Each structure stands twice: as C-alpha cells, then as structure tokens.
Chains A and B, each alone.
Chain A
C-alpha cells in the first residue's frame, strides 16, 4: 500500500479513509481466523503458526501506514474511529469476550511481534466462556502477560454492581478518651515507646548497603522459587491434622497435581522429601488404623500411575544426567512409589537418551520389583521389544525363581531381539533346566542359535550329548539349515564323548541309499565332530574316511581336518 494512495483515498461519510477501513477489516478478519485456527490446531501446527503469521503481517501493514491500531470495544463489536467493524464475520464474538470482561479499548502499537500476538490470541481462546467462579478473565490474563505492544483500557464494567463502602458508617470504637476503659489492656502497652523516640537507635531501622544487597537477593530468590514445595509442606501439615474426608481428598488431589508438575520440572529433591514424610504419616496411620488410610493408598496408586508419571518422561528425555545429586533424588523418589509404577517407568526407558538416567531408572525398577515382581514380569511380556528388553535387563539382575520364570517366558517372545536378550540373561545366570533351552538350538535367529551353541559347547552336562544326538536324528533338514546342522555336529564334537562314536560313524559312512535329506551335510558334520572329539577312535574313523574310495568321504574328512587346523 502506497502512502500516496492514503492521501488520495476516498473518505467515508464519517471521514475515515476507505483504504484505512479496509486495512483495519483485514486485521480483524485475520484476528478472527487466528483465534479459530489456534483453537483448533496444536501450538506448533503449521496452520496455527501461519494464522499468527498472517495476523502479524496484516497488523504490520496497517501500523506501517496508519500508526497504532486503536479499537474501541462495544457490546456489538469492534469500532474503529466511527466505523463499526461488525461486518467482519466472527468479530462480534471476540469483541464481546473483551467487552464482557470490561475491556473498553485495545491498542496494537507499532512493532507488535508475533509472540505477543500469539499470547493475545491464546488469552482470547482461554477465556471463551467465563464462569462465576473462574480464576481470572481476559483482563487479568492480559495484565499477567504484560504485553508491551498490546495495550488495553478497562472501564468500570466489572464493578458496575459493586457497592462502594460508606466509610462514615464504619464504627470507630474507643471513640472517646473519657469512656475508653480497655477491657483487656496489655500491661506492656503503656510502656511502649514511640518510633519517634527510638530514632536514635539507628541499628534498629537503618539499612546498610549489605542489607540492601541481601534484600535484593531475597527478592530474586523469592521470584524464582519453586512453590510446589510449599504445597507439599503445607498439605502434609493438613494431612497430619486431618479432620474430614473432603479435606483429605482435596489436599491429596492438590498434592497429586503438584506432584505431576514437580516431576515434570525435575525437582526431585522436593518429591523425595515429600514422599518420605508421606510414608511416615501413612505408617503412623497404619499403626493407628486411621480412616484416612484408604485415601492415602488411593493417592499412592494415583501417583504411581501413568497419568502422573507421564509428566516425568519428557523431563528425563531432556536431561544429560550429569548431576549426581539430582539423580540420587530421582532414584529415592521412584523407589518410594508402588511397584505398579514399574510398567510406566519401564516403558520410558527406551526413549531416554542418557545412560546415567537410564541406570537410575533401572536401579529403581530393580528395587521396586524386589517388592513385587509381577509388574516387571508383565513389562517383560510387552509388545514393544525395546520395553521388554529393558525389563529383561532388570530381571537378569534378580536372583529369585520368579525372575527366572519371567525370563523363560520372555524367551517365547515373537521378537528375536527379545528372545535373544532373554536367552543371554538366562545363560548368564546359569540355566536351571537346560531341556527348556534346547529348542533354541533350532531358533530361527542365527545369533540365538550361535549363542546357545556357544553356551552348550562350554557345558559338561552328562545328558547333553544324548540330547544333541537325538536332536540331530529328529532334525527335519532343509537346505538352508546346513549351517545349523553343521553347528549341531560341531557342538557334539565339543561336548560329546566316546558314546557318540557309533552315531558319528553311522553318519559318516552311511551308504547313499540309507542317507537322509542333506546327507552330504550330515557326512561333513560327522567328520567335523569326530575331528573335534580328538580321541584315538575318532582319529581312526577319520583316517578311514580319508582313504575311502568315495570322493565325498575323502573330501569330508579333509575339510574337517582343515577346519580343525584352522581353529
């Protein structure tokens, strides 16, 4: 818009330039859209951002050419100079909200930024409807926001029906010195000296430079303080001196909300202190059989649940975990929750980037699971492999039978990575019954098979050999399993004995007509096993094979020897 256009613009009947009116209407329509869109879409959504952007552009256009935008707010809508803006669809509603709360004038000063407009629009949205008992309104929110470029002027609308005190009707007792017989006078009162007389005692009132600095520090501390600690302190006193159910319920509701907020801000020292004190009170009530106990227990369930603890996740994902004191308070907080919290806390673990924070969480889960392992066992069965693996890591540190059972259950997971973690955990702690473990020799996951082979190959269990032989016999060979079958033979070679000799001979020298699917692989496997057995009879059998007329037999023996040497 060119300034020359402004100078030549057509005046309306009221004397306001049409171009100017159009520019105002444009701002108002963008304001209406911004209010609607930011109400419908999340803050960071492109639609919301674009709506604020457009509002900002239109306002900038206006102020660039016409100066600050001053709007009168009347019940029917916005008014610019003498011109009603109610033709802008949707503007009456916004204007009414402002009017309802007593705003009479709004000014958008040149230089109003997007951030300020966003706050302004959010305030309009936050106060669409106002109840009799609301905490605030558009005016209180605008005051609180203290926007430097959006000014407002309020009239007396809110106080229209408020009576002003008639101070002449206020009674001033002690009216005459004559009748002033004080019925409960303080004896020391008559001796009280006027501050006028104490002017000489400068140390009592004179502020030193240091004291002024101390005051500034106290003000700074107060203005940056976390008040949720106050809630905890005060409401614990209320809980200790409880009187009725409603009061206890109210107090606990407030504490729960504060807990949520405190966790989301990472003030774990406060939550830790609160929970310690809370448990002391609870213990006392348990001993006394107090009626409040069920309320306290419900509260514990609530704060151990996903709704409250969800607030923690965002914070834990952000921190580096390089404050050991904070981490210790976090751990102490978590272990004071119910074991039911394990499922929520465990589900957070995969998304936490800091190893230190993860360790704290795992330690806390361990402590909680020692009180009740069931939530951790459920977590190990989670459909999310990441979560299940975290649970398995904790279970692997527990020594009781329930933990082993939970791990075994986890080995039945459909996810290979979970099975792998469970198998590893079980092998590390020592498999109680290796029969349960043998199926993993045929696990579709190569790493598990390899891991189990490695595990068994170092095992000296007496039944092992027999079972492996049996396993090979019953194995339904498929060509793609060649490697697996060879590994089985290799395992037999590692942990086998003289007892397997006949079986291996049979496999090595079997005639083609008697061979099973994958006979070449069996022959090769038997040769490998014999090479690994390293005893005289095995050696003899291999020598025999290497001097056989059958090229395949000679080849198998040679390869087995080569592999053995290579090893």
Chain B
C-alpha cells in the first residue's frame, strides 16, 4: 500500500474523522505541548507519545522515510501539502511555528523510528524545546540529534528539489498568477494616471511583496517568467519583466526583503511615462526623427511626473522616485534626461538600467522584429561595462544568468533544438539545463529535460553540445509556456 493511500484512510479520533497526516501532525504538536508542562511519567504525555509513534509507524510501514517539511509557509508531509482545515490548522500552524523558530525546514524520520519508546519520543521533543532557548537553535538541535539515541530522526536543512513535483507545479502556477497580477496592476495604475484619476499602489505592493517572498524560495521559476513577451503590450510585460529581474538581481546582491520590494516597485513603474509617448512614435517601424526622439527622451522624466501623482506616502515616494528617472542615464552619466549631475547614479538606478536594457534588447519590437538571442545580448552588454553599465553590477547580472540565460533557444550538435531552463553557473563551470524541443505540425512540443553536465561525462561522441543560439521568437516560442508544462 502506498503512503498516500495510507494517508487517505479516514481514522476515527475523538469522534471526528481525520486523515492520518492530520493526526500525526496533531500528535506531534500535542507531544511538544505536553512535554512543556508535564513530566515524562504523566498520562497525557504517554497518550501523546503513543499516538505520535503509532501514526508515524503507519507511514513507515509503506515508505522508508517520513518527511515533514515547511516550504513557503506551508507544511508538506511526504511531499504533499497539508490543507488548512479548521480542525487541523492549529496543529499545522503550531508545527510551522516551531520549525520556523528552529531555523530549519523540517524533520525526516527513518525506519528506525519504528520501535522507539515513549521516553525517546518525549526526549526528542524536549530537545526541540530546549533548542528554542538557545541563540542558535538549529546548530544546538543538530548537535543533540547526532547522538546515537536519535538515529531515527534527522533535520532537513534546505529545501528539497527531488520528490517535490507537486510543489514545483504549484510554484509555477503561483509565478504565473503573480506575473498576471503584476501585469494587471501596472496596467491599471498606468491607465488611471493617464485618465487623471488617483491611483494607489496597494495591489502592486502586495504582489511585489509576494514576489520578494518567492525569490527566497525558488528564484529559477521567477527567472523563467522573465521570458514572457507580448508584442502588443510590450510596455506592461517589459515593466513586469524588469521588476522581476530587479528583484532576482537584488536578491543576488543580498538586499533585504524590504529593499527588494522598493526595487521591485521601481522596476514596475520605471516606464510609467511611456504612456505619454504618442502611439505613432511607438509603432513607427522606421528610424525616429529628431523631434520624435525628443519625445521618447521625455519618458523617464514623465515616469517621475506620473509617480508623484500616485497616492503614496512621502516616505515611499522618496524611496522610489529616483531610479525610474535614472534608467536611461548611463554609468558615465551620458544619456537622458540631461540633469547636469556630477554624482554617480543611485544603486537602484544602476540595477534598473541593466535590467531594462537586457529586457529591451531581448524583446521583439516593431523596429526590430528579430531581437538578439539572450546570450548575445549579455555578450553585447559586456562591451558597455564601465561606460554604459556599472561594471561591478554587470558582473553580478551576468553571474545571475549563468552560462546561458534562461529562455535562450539553442541548436545542438545533434541537430536538435533545446530551450534553456536553467542557466548553469559561470563560477562553478556548471553547464545549463535545457528542455528538448520536438518539432511537430502544431509547432514545438516540450521533450526531455537534459542536464548538459551529465551528458558531458558520457562518451564524447554521444555528448550533446550547443552549436548555435537563437531568440525564442525566431521559432514563435513563448518559453514560459514550456516551463509551465514541465
């Protein structure tokens, strides 16, 4: 019998029908609470310990390990997310609280769990409670659990990738939702301001806060969403892409969550002034004349003009007003608007400038229907290191994207096409991962996922190698749709 079947069995407990996973978590929390206030010989401790052991053993009858894990404020038991039901929520939140305060991700119980005594179970939760009194609970608990007495349990220190397909799908869905809400938010604010209405930023703030939370959990999925393009609503997709790109880069740089939100808001609203540019200029396929270009040059200052009309506190406004104005100023202060400053651009201004150029150059526009492939865009940006771009921040940016930016389509030596899903690592010399693209009559279908590092260890003639790089638009590909499928 598989563990999910075990879990689905309904068990009667105190007159209420509950799932086994809920009983296990409930008994775990109850045991912790009983241990806090009672001696080990107390009957209530016996009851809680017995139930904890009994339900845990039920899982281990079928699986070799019992994993209880906290991810993104949710509790997962055996890889499955536990639902917040009225009856079980108290236990789930309590256990999440304990795990969070311990500074760990969860616990893994192995088959030695079968046969532990009440005393051992009691001692285990006592160690948890004792750890919470120490300055570094994680370190302390780990040392205690290393003893022979606790061979049946270990701490989970990091998020697990394997066996978490359910979670990954959820995260991709979440990213899709967050992308949509960001897009809607920037569109709504933009339209309101254009119509002279007042516009607050409650929704943009909430969605950017969620993105800032997510970047700590799984950056690679967020990076994948930055490949979303829409030719017809370029400004909005561009704004969202720049915001996400900035948040990812800010995370690389070590910014706090609060700063990431500020940076994200700057990214989201950096092009608010674009709505003032006449459509005939935006949609002009030919080169712009001087007057037309002049109007385009106003847009960064116009973004500020829009920003000051937002219904935001002076404190927040002060934190987001400068970078949007600077996003077309180069590192050497050339560019526009002409401000006559001698001081260097702001930190966020330099980040936004890099992310803005990358997204602009990797997007199809009316005057450039086939843009450069993302890897060439980065190669080209490197030419501007120290003049156009802050050389230090550009290095971080390049490292963030890795050997090959996510969303690049590659031609392989085998004649196959692949879509980069993970950029690899320049420092670690880790090659990218890619999704093979299979050509069908309806277009391309997602094929196998290839880790080029693993291929590398095979015989040379078998190894897949990148021969050419392309922009996904050359093949009509919207990369994120393929990531959603994976």
Contacts and interface: CB of A to CB of B under 8 A. Distances in A.
A297 to B, nearest CB: 21
Contacts of A137: 202, 206
B203 interface: yes
B301 A184 contact: no
Contacts of A68: 90, 93-94, 97
B177 interface: yes
A134 B379 CA distance: 43
B231 interface: yes
Interface in B438-486: 466, 469, 471-478, 480-481, 484
A106 to B, nearest CB: 9
Interface in B231-290: 231-233, 237, 253-259, 285-287
B73 interface: yes
A194 B379 contact: yes
A188 interface: yes
B244 to A, nearest CB: 14
Contact of A237 (B257, B339, B473): B339
Interface string B70-87: 000100000000001011
Nearest to B15: A15
B86 A79 contact: yes
A513 interface: no
B291 interface: no
Interface in A483-501: none
B205 A140 contact: yes
Interface string B355-371: 00000000010111111
A566 interface: no
Contacts of A130: 202
Interface in A124-142: 130-137, 139-140
B1 interface: no
A510 interface: no
B29 to A, nearest CB: 7
Interface residues of A, number: 97
Contacts, number: 299
B254 A199 contact: no
Interface string B315-339: 1111101100100000000000101
B33 interface: yes
A215 B203 CA distance: 31
B14 A171 contact: no
A7 B46 CA distance: 14
Contacts of A139: 206
Contacts of A196: 375, 379, 403-404, 466, 469
B134 interface: no
A21 B16 CA distance: 19
A204 B311 CA distance: 42
B304 interface: yes
Contacts of A221: 347
Interface string A225-253: 00110110111011001010001001100
Interface string A59-85: 000000111101010000001011000
Nearest to B200: A133
A550 interface: no
Contacts of B198: 133
Report which residue of A151, A205, A219 has the largest number of chain B beta carbons within 10 angstroms of its beta carbon: A205
A172 B368 contact: no
A242 B34 CA distance: 69
Contacts of A134: 200, 202, 311
A242 B309 CA distance: 15
Contacts of A231: 314, 317-318, 321
Contacts of A132: 200
Given A140-B202, A194-B373, A219 B254 contact: yes
B472 A172 contact: yes
Contacts of A181: 369
Contacts of B184: 162-163
B319 A227 contact: yes
A104 B84 contact: yes
A234 B321 contact: yes
A218 B347 contact: yes
Nearest to B351: A222
A135 B209 CA distance: 13
A151 B97 contact: yes
A258 B322 CA distance: 14
Nearest to A143: B209
Contacts of A174: 364, 369-371, 471, 473-474
A564 interface: no
Contacts of B167: none
Given A174-B473, A198-B382, A192 B376 contact: yes
Contacts of B318: 227-228, 230-231, 258
Contact of B200 (A131, A193, A228, A251): A131
A51 B14 CA distance: 38
B59 interface: no
A205 B426 contact: yes
Nearest to A142: B209
B368 A251 contact: no
Interface stretch (B120-128, B144-152, B393-401): B393-401
Contacts of B237: 170
Contacts of B475: 175, 177
Contacts of B37: 3, 65
A171 B230 contact: yes
Nearest to B472: A172
B427 interface: yes
Contacts of B314: 231, 254, 257-258, 261
A217 to B, nearest CB: 11
A176 B209 CA distance: 38
B175 to A, nearest CB: 11
A104 B427 CA distance: 43
B312 interface: yes
A195 B403 contact: yes
B25 to A, nearest CB: 13
Interface string A140-178: 100110100001010000110011110110111111110
A247 B306 CA distance: 9
Contact of A223 (B256, B308, B316, B371): B256
B181 interface: yes
B311 A82 contact: no
A192 B362 CA distance: 13
B304 A135 contact: no
B309 A250 contact: yes
A436 interface: no
B93 A70 contact: yes
A537 B339 CA distance: 87
Q: Which of B285, B379, B480 has the most CB of A within 10 A?
A: B379
B459 to A, nearest CB: 23
B385 interface: yes
A46 interface: no
A215 B301 CA distance: 28
B94 A67 contact: yes
Contacts of B484: 167
A235 B314 CA distance: 13
Contact of B313 (A135, A167, A172): A135
A199 B403 contact: yes
Interface string B50-91: 000000000000000000000001000000000010110110
A184 B286 contact: yes
Contact of A7 (B44, B177, B311, B474): B44
| Nearest 6 CB-CB pairings of A with B | A133-B200, A184-B367, A227-B318, A174-B473, A230-B322, A170-B230
Given A135-B313, A140-B202, A227-B319, 4 more contacts: A105-B84, A183-B366, A231-B321, A254-B317
